[in-house]
Every structure is written in C-alpha cells, then in structure tokens.
Amino acid sequence: MEETMTIAKQPSLIKSKFKAAGIHLGISSVIFLILAYFIIFKWYPFPYFTADGGWQGIRIVALIDLVLGPFLTLIIFNQNKSRREIRFDLSAIAIVQISVLIWGIYTVHNERPAAVVHWDGEFYTMPAKSFKEQGISLKELNQFSAEKPPLIHAHRSTDIETLHEILRLSTEEKLAPFEQFHLYRSFEENKDEAFLYQINIEKIISSNKKMKNELEFFLKKSEGKLDNYIYMPLNARYHNVILIFSKDGNVLGSLNAPYKD
C-alpha cells in the first residue's frame, strides 16, 4: 500500500518541480529582458556590441538569470516539505541567484566601452574599468563628445615634456598612448587629421567576401556610394572591425566581419 502511494506521489512531485521552475523562469525572463535592453542599447550600443563584448555580456546574464536560478529551483523544490522549509529553500535560491547576478551585472557594466579613442590612424575601445583604475571619472569624458560612448582623439604631441610623460606612463603605469587621458582631445575638432589615415576599403573587401557583402548591404540601405564615406579600423576586444563614418565625423555603421589589414 505504501509503495503504491509512493509511486503515485512521484509524478506529482516531478510535476510540481517543473511548475515551480517554470514560474521562476518566467520571473527571471522579465528581469533578463530588462538587463538585455541595457546591454544592447546602453552599455554596448551599435556598432560595438558584437566586437567589444556585448554578446559575452548577454551570455553571462542569461546563464545566471535563465539557467542557474530555475535549475536550482527544479533540483531543490519539494512540495512535500513544510511551508517553512519551502520558504527557506526558495529564499536560499534567491540569495544565491541575486548574489551571482549582481556580480555578473557589475562585470558586464564595468567592461562596457566607455570611450572610443583614435590614436595613430586606428580606433581603440576603452572599457569603463580602465578609467576607474586610473581614478578618472567617466563624467570627465563628456567634455570631448556628447556621444555614448564618446569619440576621442589622442593627440600625437611633439612637445618634449609631453613625450616624456607618455614614456613614463607607458613604462611605469603600463598605459598605451590611447589610454592616457592627458592626450585626449575632441575628435570632432581633429577628425580631418584622423581621416588622413582612412583605409583602402576596396583593398580590404577584395580579399574578404563576407565584409564585401556587408558593405554592399550598407550601401544599398543608405543609398550611398563607396566614396561617400570614411572607413577607419577599430581595434576591439574580440575582433577588429571597420567603422563607417560620414565625412562630417559621425559613425553610421560598421563592417563586423573580422579582418586583418
């Protein structure tokens, strides 16, 4: 008799586990959609999302929010426990998930591109943590550009004192020139100098079919011609891409197929 009751309870227990995990997944999905919005549109906006870690950020949050929490609920939840025990279990799961999620959000937010800096013919993304490690407030970047992230020009100086400072920071602080705040200038006011280094896009796409297809799609969508735009290399954290600028210095798009110049 007891064996029959145990067999009857088993499907009910499994069903309740999946129901509880499903409810947890539904709540987590709402949180994930909110976080995904910030990652895609605020922290890693186009055209930096793919090349500079947006996908990796989405995966971290999804793993924590959509997998870890519901999985723990599926494993631990047991409707046959007392209400007090169930509340304790669910509270423990929530604490674990929230703690790990806070770490994930902090990491993704800290790694977001806080500036895109031009130096010596190329652009480099600068993560927020790099400025924080130097004690530089991100608000200080607003003086160079109102864009998010701001476009910045790192000035190549011939002044002896400035060259000594560049060398000192490079050797002592391990900061590349494009990371050195004292060299920063408005990109808009220096775009003509930067654009002298524009790349030969025809040469690049001649050996990169995927990038050629991307460029053809962009030109068709924008109803522009190849020479209507300026093409500049971007060194991002996950792969190099090409930024497409209007001639007045605005980023209009990118060619995201990885390339080697």
Query: For residue range 195-244, what is the model confidence (pLDDT) as tens digits?
Result: 999 999 999 999 889 999 999 999 999 999 999 999 999 999 888 899 99
Domain boundary among 84, 110, 136: 110
Nearest Cα to 255, choosing from 222, 232, 225, 227? 232
Residues 243, 118 within the same domain: yes
Give the domain range for residue 33. Answer: 2-110
The model's pTM: 0.85
Q: What is the pLDDT of residue 252?
A: 93
Evaluate whether residue 20 is within a structural domain.
yes
Q: Is the peptide bond before 233 cis (omega within 30 degrees of 0)?
A: no
Domain boundary among 110, 138, 168: 110
Read out DSSP for 112-128? SEEEEEEETTEEEEEEH
Evaluate whether residue 260 is within a structural domain.
no
Residues 8, 69 within the same domain: yes
Residues 127, 222 within the same domain: yes
Mean pLDDT of 92-102: 95
End-to-end Cα, the chain, rounded Å:
76
Q: What is the pLDDT of residue 11?
A: 61
Query: For residue range 18-56, what is the model confidence (pLDDT) as tens digits?
Result: 999 999 999 999 999 999 999 999 999 988 998 899 999
Residues 175, 70 within the same domain: no
